[in-house]
């Protein structure tokens, strides 16, 4: 593990890579790569200790990645794939082997884990959804349910350790004019 505080080049490749997450033990980097121009993204992992040889984690003809996260215990990765024809949240055991399991229904993006790994949150456009998750079996416990809906699209977001949500949102400008009433107590007489 890199602990010197100095910059170090991890990958010297010509394709495009986006770092997504580091395993809770600090031993693996999870990243998205586009190996060929115009290709869909795939997920790769690279050990940060020993021989730093990247390996495919989820590599299919569909787009994977953009957002992927290790579970707090490091035993699962939640990610988004277009395999169903629209974005969906999947989980896959880490380091593997094992198959991916679809978690979201309808649509799902931007997965986030609760601090204890027993809940998985994701977005469905302006809706924040949640599903209970069994880290032991890697399965959703019940159906995803709506937590709340926002008036605007959610941008970047996180779930804090205490369960509160932190998010950036686009605020649309109001076209209604602002009216200021001066001397309003006189109107009450």
Task: Give residue 139's Cα distance to chain centre.
Answer: 18
Task: For CA atoms 72, 74, 76, 77, give the dihedral sign.
Answer: positive
Name the burial class of residue 60, with classes exposed (0-12), middle (13-18) and buried (19+) by CB atoms within 10 angstroms of its CB: middle
0.85 surpassed by pTM: no
Confidence at residue 171, expressed as pLDDT on a 0 to 100 scale:
66
Distance CA 29, CA 116 (A): 21
Q: What is the pLDDT of residues 3-17, one digit of tens each?
A: 567 777 777 666 677
**pLDDT level of residue 131 (50, 70, 90 thresholds):** very high
Distance CA 89, CA 156 (A): 17
Distance CA 42, CA 33 (A): 6
Query: What angle (nearest 5°) sits at the alpha carbon of residue 22, between those of residues 70 and 86?
Result: 50
């Amino acid at each position: 593990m890199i602990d010197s505080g100095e910059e170090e080049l991890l990958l010297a490749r010509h394709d495009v890579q986006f770092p997504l997450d580091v395993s809770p033990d600090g031993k693996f980097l999870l990243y998205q790569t586009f190996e060929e121009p115009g290709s869909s993204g795939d997920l790769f992992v690279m050990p940060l200790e020993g021989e730093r040889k990247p390996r495919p984690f989820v590599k299919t003809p569909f787009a994977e990645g953009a957002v992927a996260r290790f579970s707090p215990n490091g035993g699962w990765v939640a990610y988004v794939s277009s395999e169903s024809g629209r974005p969906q949240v999947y989980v896959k055991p880490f380091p593997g082997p094992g198959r991916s399991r679809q978690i979201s229904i309808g649509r799902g993006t931007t997965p986030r884990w609760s601090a204890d790994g027993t809940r998985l949150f994701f977005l469905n456009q302006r809706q924040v959804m949640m599903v209970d998750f069994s880290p032991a079996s890697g399965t959703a416990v019940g159906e995803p349910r709506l937590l709340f809906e926002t008036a605007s699209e959610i941008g970047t977001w996180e779930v804090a350790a205490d369960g509160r949500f932190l998010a950036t949102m686009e605020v649309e400008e109001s076209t209604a004019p602002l009216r200021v009433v001066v001397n309003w107590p006189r109107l009450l007489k």
